[in-house]
Amino acid sequence: MTTPSASCSACCSSAASSWSVLLGLLLVGSLFLVAGCRLSTSTAAEPGGTEYVVFLDLSQSIRADDRAILKEALTGQIVPTLEPGDRLLIAPITDRTLTGFHPLVDATLPPMPGFNGWTDNLLKHKKQVKEIETQIPKAREGIDKQIDAIFARHDASARTDILSSLLLTEKLFHRVAQRKVLVLMSDMIEDYEPYRFQHVSWTPDATGKLIDNLDKEGMIPNLSGVCVYVAGASANSPMQAEQIAGFWQAYFKRARADMDMSRYAHVLLHWPPSDACTF
């Protein structure tokens, strides 16, 4: 025969066990909820894409056949690789780069929508993605038309102020959190007082002295985190081309940019940028 005290003890033990099970279920449910929230956050799209800045040399030193090469690099290589959320800014290298800056093209492709598994409708999200996929080719076509208009004009600057363009690059990329890519489309022959490369005597120590002088005068920007390409590099002789290339290699090293000399050429090489190119 069960005594009243034994019956009460069994009842309390059963109630305690039930509460333990309930608390355990609540704890497991909370863990699943937290994990679900983390999962839904991780599936959201990252804000923005790559920021591309292209400085285009429109000075009189650029020959017609070289202009055609640069145009092909823009429309045949750069624009086709633009992805949703990418921004492309094209600006001229002139003798008034700092005082008369005006972008020739400033276009941002529509970004892909993010997706939250807890709050977003999957079918609606897929529809939005398809709409963006339809808009991207049209956006690229619009950029191509703007580039056609640039090269259809015949205006050209008398001088080439590349150094000022690079100072402006630092300002353009200021506080940009996304990937930053700079493309210089130029013969890379600075032709603006007091630095006119055609008149520089490229002795063994000339490059170092010139870099130090530019640094003292605040003419070397901070381009850390910027992936640099050069297309259009040229000179009057192979020796001069090598000397000028050596200057720019030292310059970009001092500016802390990601500049591999395999990306410095007469044409645009190794495009699009690999993941190893500063991200």
Render 175-198 in DSSP notation, one character per residue.
T--S-EEEEEES----EETTEEGG
Confidence of residue 17 (pLDDT cuts 50, 70, 90): low
Residue 253's identity, in one-letter code, is K
What is the mean pLDDT of the segment spanning 141-158? 88
pTM score, two decimals? 0.81
How confident is the model at residue 7, as a pLDDT? Answer: 46
Q: Own/partner pairs for 207-216, CB < 8 Å, 24+ apart?
A: 207/243, 207/246, 207/247, 207/250, 208/250, 210/247, 211/247, 211/250, 211/251, 211/254, 214/163, 214/251, 215/254
Fold of the domain built from segment(s) 51-265 = Rossmann fold (3.40.50)
pLDDT at 47 exceeding the cut of 80: no
- Residue 217's SS3 state is coil
Question: Whole-angstrom Cα distance, residue 229 to residue 226?
Answer: 10
Q: What are phi and psi of 277, to 5 degrees?
A: -90, 85
Convert the pLDDT of each residue in 216-233 to its tens digit.
Answer: 999 999 999 999 999 999
How confident is the model at residue 48, as a pLDDT? Answer: 64
Confidence of residue 88 (pLDDT cuts 50, 70, 90): very high
What is the mean pLDDT of the segment spanning 68-91? 96
- Cα 180–chain centre separation: 3
| Candidate from 41-55, 115-129, 164-178, 249-263 with smallest mean pLDDT | 41-55
- Proportion of the chain above pLDDT 70, given as a percent: 80
pLDDT at 50 exceeding the cut of 50: yes
Q: Can you name the residues that pair with 51 across neighbouring β-strands?
A: 87, 180
pLDDT at 103 exceeding the cut of 90: yes
How confident is the model at residue 204, as a pLDDT? Answer: 81
Question: Whole-angstrom Cα distance, residue 77 to residue 143?
Answer: 13
175: alpha, beta or left? (left if phi > 0; alpha if psi -120 to 50): left
- Name, in order, each residue with C-beta under 8 angstroms of 40's C-beta and a sequence gap of 6 or more: 116, 117, 118, 119
pLDDT at 114 exceeding the cut of 50: yes
Q: What are phi and psi of 26, to 5 degrees?
A: -65, -40
How confident is the model at residue 26, as a pLDDT? Answer: 43
How confident is the model at residue 20, as a pLDDT? Answer: 54
